[in-house]
Amino acid sequence: DAGVIQSPRHEVTEMGQEVTLRCKPISGHNSLFWYRQTMMRGLELLIYFNNNVPIDDSGMPEDRFSAKMPNASFSTLKIQPSEPRDSAVYFCASRYGTDSGYTFGSGTRLTVV
Amino acid sequence: ILNVEQSPQSLHVQEGDSTNFTCSFPSSNFYALHWYRWETAKSPEALFVMTLNGDEKKKGRISATLNTKEGYSYLYIKGSQPEDSATYLCALLTGANNLFFGTGTRLTVIP
């Protein structure tokens, strides 16, 4: 298995632009998580899906952030419009069941200038 | 929000030394405790998932214990090697499936 695949690895965009981050979870994993990592706050959960259904989006910072999971093998995290304070590394993770650890993707480093 | 504290923040040890660090949390109101290893420029990798008081897990030279009553978990590394250099993250999983991470202990093993 190729693991959790995220794209792009790096994204540099101008303030105000729309940014879409993509994630392909491990096949068979039924939970998918989006995390944001910053120096100040460490790893923070933004949203997670269980069987493609959003369960908890209380970590999504603002309405500018949205996430979808149209099927079991794909999820997107969209920021529109982007702002410089959104600059961070965004990780996607997936898991099967409830007793296993999370498998993280390599992350997308977002820079908004 | 669960307050997960890890200590020390960073640690330098000589190759061959054994070491340990701590994850502490205020209550036992969680579903599981996870340990992750995070190498620079890579993504976190799951080491252990622990659920029961008194639980002890081992993987090679790395082991972990959990004391839910007193609110701590220890991670031990026996005979540290340079390749053990990484940030070790502790995280608590709530019943709502929210994994709260500590800020990690950054370990550097000096050859």
Q: What is the pLDDT of residues A16-43, one digit of tens each?
A: 999 999 999 999 999 999 999 988 888 9
Residue A91: what pLDDT? 97
Residue B52: what pLDDT? 77
Pairwise CB contact (< 8 Å): B46 & A103: yes
Residue A1: what pLDDT? 65
Tell me whether A97 touches chain B (CB under 8 Å).
no
Residue B1: what pLDDT? 65
- pLDDT interval class at A75 (50, 70, 90): very high
Whole-number Å distance between alpha carbons of B48 and B58: 8
What is the residue-level pLDDT of chain B in tens, covering all 111 positions?
678 999 999 999 999 999 999 999 886 678 899 999 999 888 999 999 998 777 899 999 999 999 988 899 999 999 999 999 999 999 998 877 788 899 999 999 999
B39 and B89 Cβ atoms separated by less than 8 Å: no
- Strand partners for B106: B10, B87
- Strand partners for A88: A110
Residue carrying the six token digits 């608590």: B92
User: How far off is chain A from B58, nearest CA to CA, in Å?
Assistant: 15
Residue B29: what pLDDT? 77
B66 and B54 Cβ atoms separated by less than 8 Å: yes
- pLDDT interval class at A58 (50, 70, 90): confident
Q: Within 10 A of A13 (CB to CB), how many other CB atoms are there?
A: 17
**Cα nearest neighbour of A4 on chain B:** B43
Alpha-carbon dihedral of residues A53, A66, A87, A83, nearest 10 degrees? -170
Whole-number Å distance between alpha carbons of B75 and A77: 34
Pairwise CB contact (< 8 Å): A102 & B43: no
Quick one: which of A24, A21, A20 has its CA closest to A5?
A24
Q: Within 10 A of A17 (CB to CB), how many other CB atoms are there?
A: 13
Pairwise CB contact (< 8 Å): A104 & B45: yes
Tell me whether B34 touches chain A (CB under 8 Å).
yes
Whole-number Å distance between alpha carbons of B68 and B88: 19
Reading the block at residue A2, the tokens are 């190729």
Pairwise CB contact (< 8 Å): B99 & A104: no
Residue B54: what pLDDT? 76
Tell me whether A91 touches chain B (CB under 8 Å).
yes
Pairwise CB contact (< 8 Å): A33 & B99: yes
A8: preceding bond cis by omega (within 30 degrees): yes
The region of weakest confidence among A57-71, A78-92, B90-104 is B90-104
Interface residue of B2, B23, B97, B100 to substitute, partner A, most A CBs within 10 Å: B97
Residue B68: what pLDDT? 87
Burial B29-57 (b: 16+ CB within 10 A, else e): ebbbbbbbbbeeeebbbbbbbbeeeebee
Closest to B99 (Cβ–Cβ): which among A45, A50, A103? Answer: A45
Residue B94: what pLDDT? 83
Instruction: Kindly give, in sequence order, each residue whose CB lies less than 8 Å from that of residue A55, ignoring residues fewer than 6 positions away.
Output: A48, A49, B97
CB contacts, 8 Å: B51 with chain A: 99
